[in-house]
Amino acid sequence: MWKNKNVWIILIGELIAGLGLWMGIIGNLEFMQQYVPSDFFKSLILFAGLLAGVMAGPLAGRLIDSHSKKKILIYSGIGRVLAVGFMFMAIHFESILYMVLFMVGIQVAAAFYFPALQAVIPLIVKDEELIQMNGIHMNVATLSRIIGTALAGALLVVVSIQYLYAASVLAYLLLLYTTFLLDFKEEKREGGKGSKSGSFKEVLPVLKETPIALTALVLSIIPLLFIGGFNLMVINISELQDSTSIKGLLYTVEGVSFMIGAFFVKKITNLFQPVKLMFIFTFLISLAHLSLYFSDIQALSLISFGVFGLGVGCFFPIASTIFQTKIAKEYHGRFFSFRNMFDRIFFQIVLLGTGLFLDTIGLKHMVLIFGALSMILVLVYGYRHFGDKADIDYNKAVSK
């Protein structure tokens, strides 16, 4: 795998783009803290971009399955670069409207980019290398998040917010350059009757025919309950502890734990059945969410974020490998767009719920509600699943 230049191009591109992405996210948080006092209104701004991404999902899925995936990556990269221009206007005019336009543009580009990238990975590595590739890819993304957030925090001390977005544009341009270097074979596409150019609705029957993929999709709700309110919770914990430094510490601890999980996930899946591991790690994520009830204590909040990072670091590579191997390649574009839409819709619900709960019942009661929902989902769906034999074939295949 390491002799494959496409692997290196994707990983280097992810590192560069991630630096720009997270410097931009820190810039977004800083901008909203200055101009948007309400947590609920902050969530509404983020909601607008995510909604646009969801609406673009069906079109993205069809285009990815019926056109060159490399071209989709290139065009979405160009869209990212152009979208940042709205943020410069938002800063200049101190305008929330331009920030909303920026969020819409960046999320529509992401609606095309990420499903296309997930569809490309199985084309450049062998099936037995997928779980390792997914783990490493996520580790690189996490490393870029750690470096990006730390660098952004340091830069904000000495320069204005505009420089964060300037760095973000530069990173997106470098990502665009690396995308042009990708070289892989794609199946020839024939318009018309082929399933590759079929309806987006064809994904649902495919999911019904692959219960293990449906299981992974349902379990992905649990980390989303945490991730959806991640940034708002970080801000709230910072205010609760009256500490600005805790923001960086929380991101760092969660990121390092994620990397540890993603690094060891391949070895773990060789020892235990991956499906059982998915339930174990989602159970850990549920516990981490519940433990944030004690988030006013710095050490305990860091432990909670660390346990969460470890859980998702192991869960996501396993889930991604299931999707890439159990769903037929001709449906990858539509399926990953469907998954992207599923994640975004649920993310929006959690985001709006987090903002509303933080403004009304507070962080401690909110995490009890979300954590309890996660725990119930793990226990109920786990009880139902292990009476089914649908996971046997996958466990044999992925353990080889």
- The CA-based angle 302-305-307, given to 5 degrees, is 105
Terminus-to-terminus CA distance in the chain, angstroms? 17
User: Strand, coil or helix: what is 399?
Assistant: coil
Q: 365 and 292 in contact (C-beta within 8 Å)?
A: no
Give alpha helix (H) positions in the chain: 5-35, 39-66, 69-93, 96-124, 130-158, 162-180, 203-209, 211-219, 221-227, 230-240, 245-271, 274-291, 298-326, 332-360, 363-385, 391-398
Question: For position 191, what pLDDT does the model report?
Answer: 45
Amino acid 249: pLDDT = 85
Nearest to 230 by CA among 259, 214, 253: 253
Architecture category of domain 211-326+361-400 in CATH: Up-down Bundle (1.20)
Per-residue pLDDT of the chain (400 residues; tens, 9 = 90+): 677 788 888 888 888 878 887 788 888 878 887 888 777 787 788 778 878 887 887 788 788 878 888 888 899 889 989 988 998 998 888 888 898 899 888 888 888 888 888 888 888 877 777 777 877 887 787 778 778 877 887 787 788 888 888 888 898 898 889 888 888 777 655 444 444 445 567 777 777 777 788 888 888 899 988 888 887 888 888 888 887 778 778 888 888 888 888 888 777 877 777 778 888 999 999 999 999 999 888 899 999 999 999 998 888 888 888 887 888 777 777 787 788 778 878 877 887 888 888 888 988 999 999 999 999 988 887 877 776 544 444 455 454 4
The whole-number pLDDT of residue 1 equals 65
Cβ partners under 8 Å of residue 17, min gap 6: 144, 171, 172, 174, 175
| Distances in whole angstroms, Cα of residue 76 to Cα of each of 22, 111, 339 | 18, 8, 18
What the block records as the tokens of 289 is 């969410």
Distance, C-alpha 232 to centroid of its chain: 16
Question: How does 304-317 read in b/e, with b if 16+ C-beta sit within 10 Å?
Answer: bbbbbbbbbbbbbb
Q: With contact defined as beta carbons under 8 Å apart, do 298 and 241 qualify?
A: yes
pLDDT at 360: 87
Closest to 284 measured CA to CA, from 222, 341, 236, 239: 222
Residue 192's pLDDT is what? 40
Provide CATH 1.20.1250.20 ranges for the chain: 1-181
Residue given tokens 């919770």 in the structure block: 233
Query: Both tokens of residue 72?
Result: 């989709």
pLDDT of 16: 84
Burial of residue 271 (CB within 10 Å: 0-12, 13-18, 19+) is exposed
Q: Say which residues have a Cβ less than 8 Å from residue 399's Cβ, sequence separation at least 6.
A: 269, 270, 273, 274
Given a contact cutoff of 8 angstroms between Cβ atoms, the answer to whether 57 and 341 are in contact is: yes
Predicted pLDDT of residue 293 = 92
Q: What pLDDT is attached to residue 303? A: 93
- Residue 199: the pLDDT is 59
CATH of range 1-181; options 3.90.650.10, 1.20.1250.20, 3.40.50.170, 3.40.630.40: 1.20.1250.20
CA 9 from centroid of its chain's CA atoms: 20
Q: Residue 127 has which token pair?
A: 């099936």
Nearest-5° Cα angle at 142, 136 to 143? 90
- Read off φ and ψ for residue 327, nearest 5 degrees: -90, 130
> Hey, how many other C-beta atoms are within 10 angstroms of the C-beta on 384?
11
Within a 13 Å sphere around the CA of 328, how many CA atoms are in the beta-carbon half?
12
- Nearest C-alpha neighbor of 182 from the set 72, 82, 330: 72
CA distance 302 to 308: 10
